[in-house]
Amino acid sequence: MIPSAGRRPLPHRTAAPVRTGGRAVAASAVVTAGLLAFPGAVPNSVGRAGSLLETFLPWLGLVVVVLLGLALLRRSALALVAVLLPVAAWTHHFGGLLLPAAPGGGDDLLVVQHNVGDENPDPAGTARALAAAGADLVALEELVPRALPVYERTLAARYPYHTVRGTVGLWSRHPLAETGPVDIRPRGITEPWNRGLRAVVRTPHGEIAVYVAHLPSVRVGAGGLASSWRDESARLLGEAVGAEERERVLVLGDLNGTADDRGLRPLTARLDTAERGFALSFPAGFPLVGIDQVMARSATVRHLRALPATGSDHLPVVAGITL
């Protein structure tokens, strides 16, 4: 049909392009929320991917921030609604740790936990910094023979009671009893190796069994997380805590794992972790993970926080305990 003179043909309409960016952000948000809410769904069969995820689980909060920025940039209502899912999951899992300590009575005990580092160039300065925290108990790991006398001498005035087994030690303002080693050595380690101890602390609030432990290190490589020795040691420590006859128990130590890591579950399933506090302790220069732990049974770890750096590659942590 020939158009009439003086009439312009209607412009050809093309279909509007489909904006897939918002959908991609929304899908990523749903996946992130799933990882935060159900990290146990990630298997450990290949490279111990599940434990690796659980170790760095709090850092998924940065992914949530990026997704929120992308949703705002794309002005996608779908993406904005979807991002609320990981926000809620992260807040549910970690938000309470950011709150101040719950109101109420004061702490019955103040405890410090620190891997002092076997290459620490200033053990005396480290000991003075730990004593200045005013704690009732100080648990130390990586006590090498050349530095041990320095810690003993420097801490003696404030802490008249102490016990050392292998490379771990406990200093106390209160009397100690029933001190001895705890065998947490994995089968694959054949050389002399003692990194666990137990002592009964006679506090004004009653006796409490205290365990100090340094679990084997883990390695992250191309094959994933290598943690079999650490996991075996955690199982042995968990069995020792499970067999403990005293009702009140404290576990202090460098566990080379976070409280969320399923590799520590044989131990953490028997204990309560801190109610408040995000105590990232390693590495000291830029703390990424909280592997220095204070856990309790029949007692409450009200708060946990990191202290300023010493000469170690770990930060010390201090916790308030209610018995």
| Partners of residue 319 on adjacent β-strands | 111, 304
Q: For residue 155, what are its two tokens? A: 């801490």
In angstroms, how far is CA 61 from the centroid of its own chain?
15
Spell out the long-range contacts of 91-100 with Cβ–Cβ below 8 A and sequence spacing 24 or more: 92/37, 93/36, 93/37, 93/57, 94/58, 94/61, 94/278, 96/275, 96/276, 97/274, 97/276, 97/277, 97/278, 98/276, 98/278, 99/276, 100/276
* pLDDT given at position 6: 53
CATH class of this structure's domain 109-322: alpha beta
Instruction: Please state, in angstroms and rounded to a whole number, the distance separating the CA atoms of residues 269 and 176.
Output: 27
Closest residue by Cα to residue 251 from 295, 300, 199: 295
- Which pLDDT tens digit goes with each residue over 209-235? 999 999 999 988 777 788 999 999 999
- pTM for the full predicted model: 0.90
* pLDDT given at position 271: 98
* pLDDT given at position 210: 98
* pLDDT given at position 11: 56
Residue pointed to by tokens 């779908």: 78
* Cβ proximity of 167 and 148 under 8 Å: no
CB within 8 Å of 217: residues ≥ 6 apart = 230, 256
Backbone angles phi, psi at 137, to 5 degrees: -130, 145
> From residue 41, how far is each of 50, 53, 262, 310 by CA, in Å?
8, 11, 11, 38
Region of 252 (left: φ > 0; alpha: ψ -120 to 50; beta: rest) is beta
Name the stretches of the chain with pLDDT < 50.
Answer: 1, 15-18
* Cβ proximity of 164 and 136 under 8 Å: no
3-class DSSP state for residue 201? strand
- Which pLDDT tens digit goes with each residue over 236-246? 999 999 999 99
* pLDDT given at position 225: 83
Residue spans per domain, the chain: 21-98, 109-322
* pLDDT given at position 104: 62
* pLDDT given at position 105: 61
3-class DSSP state for residue 294? strand
* pLDDT given at position 15: 47
DSSP string, 91-136: HHHHGGGGSPPPSSS--SEEEEEEE--TT-S-HHHHHHHHHTTT-S
* pLDDT given at position 16: 43
